[in-house]
Each structure stands twice: as structure tokens, then as C-alpha cells.
Amino acid sequence: MTFLAFGEIMLRLSPPGREMLMQTPKLDVWLAGAEANVASALARLGHDVAIVSAVPDNDLGRAAITTLRGAGVDTRGIQLRGERMGLYFVSSGAGLRATEVIYDRAYSSFAETPSAAWDWDRLLDGVDRLHLSGITPALGPVPAESAIAAAEAATARGIPVSFDGNWRGKLWERWDSDPRAILTRLVEQADLLFGNHRDIALLLGRTFESDGEDRRREAVDAAFAAFPRLQTIASTARHVEHVDLNRLSARVDTRTDSAQTDEVVLAGIVDRIGGGDAYAAGVLHAMRRGEDAAAAARTGLALAALKHSLPGDASLFRQADIDAYLAGGLDVRR
């Protein structure tokens, strides 16, 4: 059976090193996109994975397809249509200077593809999980309709849906949107949610007054009460000392169990973007192997921590890397 991701495939452009945008006339180019990141990470971990998207029929679109194929992702669900590849620009921060993101995604091939263009009867054949994120509906009313149609089509066929909140305020602000209503319709279809107490507060239109772990459990209990299909909620908590030094912990809650990791110190961070996608992939990897909530939290945190050591958006790690991380071996592997 196949894990299927649906979302926009983009290109990320970043100045070299820790330079500011256009400090020098050079840009590094990386394949990007939350769903593509999850798909490629799971493929590298040995799972059968496919992606549904749309890219232009030009060198940029074909390069994206080639890159995903190289990671082991089935790309037959990618349509060649439209004229624009979604782009975004990242200036990596350093010290006390935060990372900055500029989006250039309007009118992209994916964003302009009408909902009727996705043949979910065919695309969901042989699929055992559909993965979506909140980025797709943030792109505009047409992608929002497509995401909802995908989730509802999967649910109608008994296929579980995982949903990563991935809040992107800059994208939602571009159009006359109703994030709470749209995201609620998507989470209603999900059995697995990647999101923290802030995501749940947005969905439920309320705040949570507790602190720390108590607040997280209060939030997940409220989400479980509001969304009957929801069975698992996975989240991380990040404390930023400065751009190059963060502390990260992970949590996985089910209706009957919860698992909370200790914090890990992420020092000398190379690139934190894509860390949340790596966490989602790690949790999904553990769940697809039949492991419990504690193992899912540990594996998700391990893959997220490792991702912080790489430039670009994608996790390039395999099971042996996760095993070495969990074993605590930081010496040179010879």
C-alpha cells in the first residue's frame, strides 16, 4: 500500500551561507514544499510513497520531478500544466538576526489547478494514507477547495488522513480567507493531526490557560472532544535561545496515552526550515512500523534534530542515521 501526499512542489532560493538576500548576486536552489519534504523523507526511510501535485512543463518543473524520483517518490500523480513554479526566498538568520521568508507563489501551476482536475478515484487507488497540510488551503480558494475535496474523497473510501497545520499567516492574509472554517473542515477528516496548542486554539476559537505539559494535554483533550475522527495528535515545543541554539522536545498524544520526550539542545544549527516536516515524517515512519506513541515521539524528534544539520528543506536521512542518533553516538563513524 502507498502513502500519498498532496500539495505544492516549490523551489527555494537562498543566498549562500548566512548572507542576506542579494548581498551578493548568487542564490542556492533547493526543492521545497511541506508535503514533498514529508514524501521524500518517508521514501528514503523505505516506504512506498507517491505525490500528487502540478508543475509547469519546463526545466524547473521537470527538475523537481527528477529530484523527487531520485529520492524514491512515485511522481506519476504530478500534472504538467500552467506556466509558473511556486518559489520562495529564504535568508537564513544568524545569532540574533532571525531568518526571513519571502513568498512568490501567486498564480503557480499548482495554485491555478481547478479542483475538478484531480481524479481522486484514480489517485487514491491502492493508497493507505493521504497526507495534507494547512499550506495548501492558505494558497487561495481554489487550492482550499482541492484540499477539502481530497480529504473528503479519502474519508469516503475509508483511507485515513493525516493533516499538518503548518500555519502560514502571510499566505492566508493574501486573500479574503476564513482560516478557522476551512481548517476545521480539513481536520474533521483527519485521524492524525500535527499541531500544537496554538493550532488547536485557532480551530476551536478559544485559549488554554495552563502552562507547559498541562496546557498541551488540555488542548489535545479539547481537540479530541471536538473532532471524533481524530485519534492522534503530534507536536513539538521549541525554545529559541538564538538562531543557532534552540531547544526542542516532542509529544505524541492519543485518546488513551501520551508520550513526552526530554528537550534536546540543537547547537550550531545549519538550517531549521523543514524541521517540522522531518518531525512529521519521523512520526509517520514509526506509526507505519506499528510502534507506540513513545517511539513515534522519539523517532520524530530524532529526524527533526538531524534535519537541523542540513541546508535546504529536505531530510536526507535513513534508518541507520536515526539509530545512530538515538544511540547517542556523536564521534566520527569510521
Place of cell 521537470: 62
Rounded-to-integer distance, Cα 294 and Cα 55, Å:
38
DSSP element (H, E) containing 10: strand 10-14
Asked if 162 and 131 count as a contact pair (C-beta separation under 8 A), the reply is: yes
Beta bridge partners of 240: 246
- Rounded CA separation 10/36 (Å): 9
Residues 6+ apart with CB under 8 A from 186: 132, 134, 137, 147, 148, 151, 163
Active site residue 178: no
Q: Which residues fall within 8 angstroms of residue 26, CB to CB, at 6 or more apart? A: 15, 16
Strand, coil or helix: what is 304? helix
Q: Reduced to 3 states, what is the DSSP secondary structure of residue 20?
A: coil
Catalytic residue, chosen from 199, 271, 277, 313, is 277
Going by C-alpha positions, the residue among 157, 211, 219, 154 that lies closest to residue 193 is: 219
| Nearest residue to 5 via CA among 41, 46, 45 | 41
Please list, in sequence order, all residues whose beta carbon lies within 8 angstroms of the beta carbon of residue 290, skipping any fewer than 6 positions away.
Answer: none
Q: Do 1 and 17 form a contact (C-beta atoms < 8 A)?
A: no
Q: Give the Cβ contact number of residue 131 at 10 Å.
A: 28
Please work out, in degrees rounded to the nearest 5, the angle formed at the alpha carbon of residue 224 by the alpha carbons of 222 and 228: 135
Whether 38 contacts 6, CB under 8 Å: no
Catalytic positions, please? Answer: 277
